[in-house]
């Protein structure tokens, strides 16, 4: 099995990032698994120069190692794979162009619940169904558009049964999760109007290609997990072959290979001329099928004011802490305390935590945490920060 670190190089790592990295590393290493590093620099406008190098330096300083070379989402090789994945979805009739502006979306979408999701009302999906010639003309004219992946059970597919509309999984920490895909996720952008591939698509393609089967990250991504599982199932259903398993597709598909990973009906509408083939990807790759990774979502870490720690809060980042002489054992010990692995924030090394790592204590108590200097459990070095 394989785990991964997937930091976004948008700033220096802070306590909350170190806590997530430690959890991911312990999850993999306590099982004797591989740990890979992927630098999530797909959203180039958010990337800060040198942040990747500093992140790697901080990981090593914390005693968190990884196997092999880091994978950069910005590399030409990865881009070629994202193109392939998108073509695969398009050939299966699972994506459509969306011409809605940000203002249109804000006006028409259901309010989101703080995790950034705006549920798309399906405007351009209906446009394609009802007026395909108009879509064709707008594409020919070069109108600015994103590409969206269709959810099952939505407007265009009334024949789908209610069960198809759900994505369910058991999270290692938060337990059983059930998301209604059209209602709680909605048709989502896989390529942005500015031409960049969307995070939601590239993470799935990367995890497939890198053979990642354990994903540890913040609970703000629970809903994204439902979407990513759908994208993953759609890709596999559409015949996308992960690089990690290109040599042994049969063993990779496991029980889902009953009859093979059948390609979906090919009905391209990338040119706006076709109709949606129907979103039946997940039916061939049921929610319980073995090719989905195991997920562990973590409680979020807030600051004393109850707001989620952000990379712009420099006082708690590794640069500031290291400059003040804080040791890696102090940071790791505090993160272990936040993960409920230790009763207090006594310094310890990451390696010391490997042998009795378990999700059990966090599963038992997974409220969000706060780094609160007024809390008696807060170590002195943090109170001073």
Q: Do 221 and 227 touch, CB atoms closer than 8 A?
A: no
By C-alpha distance, which of 56, 51, 339 is closest to 172?
A: 339
What single DSSP character describes residue 183? I
- 41 makes contact with ligand GLU (CB under 6 A): no
Nearest approach in angstroms of CB 223 to ligand GLU is 12
Orientation of helix 15-29 relative to helix 328-338, angle to 10°: 80
Pairing of strands 175-180, 166-171: antiparallel
Cα dihedral 231→233→234→235 (10° resolution): 80
- 16 makes contact with ligand GLU (CB under 6 A): no
Nearest approach in angstroms of CB 299 to ligand GLU is 14
- 330 makes contact with ligand GLU (CB under 6 A): no
Nearest-5° Cα angle at 309, 344 to 13: 85
- 269 makes contact with ligand GLU (CB under 6 A): no
Q: Which of 22, 23, 40, 212 binds ligand GLU (CB under 6 A)?
A: 40
Part in contact with ligand GLU (CB under 6 A); list of ranges 6-14, 237-245, 305-313, 343-351: 6-14
- 282 makes contact with ligand GLU (CB under 6 A): no
Pairing of strands 301-302, 369-370: parallel
Q: Which of residues 216-235 bind ligand GLU (CB under 6 A)?
A: 217
**Which CA distances in Å does 302 have to 126, 133, 215, 305, 331?**
41, 50, 22, 8, 16
- 9 makes contact with ligand GLU (CB under 6 A): no
- 43 makes contact with ligand GLU (CB under 6 A): no
Nearest approach in angstroms of CB 351 to ligand GLU is 23
Give whichever of 40 and 313 is closer to ligand GLU, judged by the CB atom. 40
- 8 makes contact with ligand GLU (CB under 6 A): yes
Q: How many residues bind ligand GLU (CB under 6 A)?
A: 6
* Placement of tokens 């939505």 in the chain: 154
- 7 makes contact with ligand GLU (CB under 6 A): yes
Nearest approach in angstroms of CB 224 to ligand GLU is 7
Q: Which of residues 165-224 bind ligand GLU (CB under 6 A)?
A: 203, 217
d(CA 73, CA 76): 8
- Return residues touching ligand GLU (CB under 6 A): 6-8, 40, 203, 217
């Amino acid at each position: 099995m394989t785990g991964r670190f997937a930091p976004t190089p948008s700033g220096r790592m802070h306590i909350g990032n170190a806590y997530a990295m430690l959890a991911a590393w312990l999850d993999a290493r306590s099982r004797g698994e591989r740990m890979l590093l992927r630098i999530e620099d797909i959203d180039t406008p958010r990337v800060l120069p040198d942040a990747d190098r500093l992140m790697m330096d901080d990981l090593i300083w914390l005693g968190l190692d990884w196997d092999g070379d880091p994978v950069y989402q910005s590399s030409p090789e990865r881009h070629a794979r994202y193109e392939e994945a998108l073509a695969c979805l398009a050939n299966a009739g699972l994506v459509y162009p969306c011409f809605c502006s940000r203002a249109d979306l804000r006006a028409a979408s259901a309010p989101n619940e703080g995790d950034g999701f705006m549920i798309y009302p399906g405007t351009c999906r209906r446009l394609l169904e009802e007026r395909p010639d108009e879509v064709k003309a707008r594409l020919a004219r070069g109108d600015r558009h994103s590409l969206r992946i269709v959810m099952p059970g939505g407007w265009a597919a009334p024949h789908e049964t209610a069960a198809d509309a759900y994505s369910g999984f058991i999270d290692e920490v938060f337990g059983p999760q059930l998301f209604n895909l059209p209602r709680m996720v909605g048709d989502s952008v896989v390529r942005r109007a500015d031409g960049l591939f969307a995070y939601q698509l590239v993470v799935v393609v990367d995890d497939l290609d890198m053979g990642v089967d354990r994903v540890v990250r913040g609970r703000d991504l629970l809903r994204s997990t439902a979407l990513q599982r759908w994208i993953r199932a759609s890709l596999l259903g559409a015949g996308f072959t992960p690089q990690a398993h290109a040599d042994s597709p049969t063993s990779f598909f496991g029980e889902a290979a009953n009859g093979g990973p059948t390609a979906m009906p090919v009905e391209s509408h990338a040119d706006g001329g076709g109709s949606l083939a129907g979103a039946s990807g997940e039916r061939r790759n049921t929610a319980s099928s073995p090719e989905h990774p195991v997920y562990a979502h973590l409680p979020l870490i807030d600051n004393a004011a109850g707001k989620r720690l952000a990379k712009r809060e420099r006082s708690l980042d590794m640069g500031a802490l290291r400059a003040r002489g804080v040791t890696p054992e102090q940071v790791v010990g505090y993160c272990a305390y936040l993960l409920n692995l230790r009763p207090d924030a006594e310094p310890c090394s990451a390696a010391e935590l490997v042998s009795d790592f378990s999700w059990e204590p966090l599963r038992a108590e997974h409220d969000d945490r706060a780094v609160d200097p007024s809390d008696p459990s807060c170590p002195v070095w943090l109170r001073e920060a």
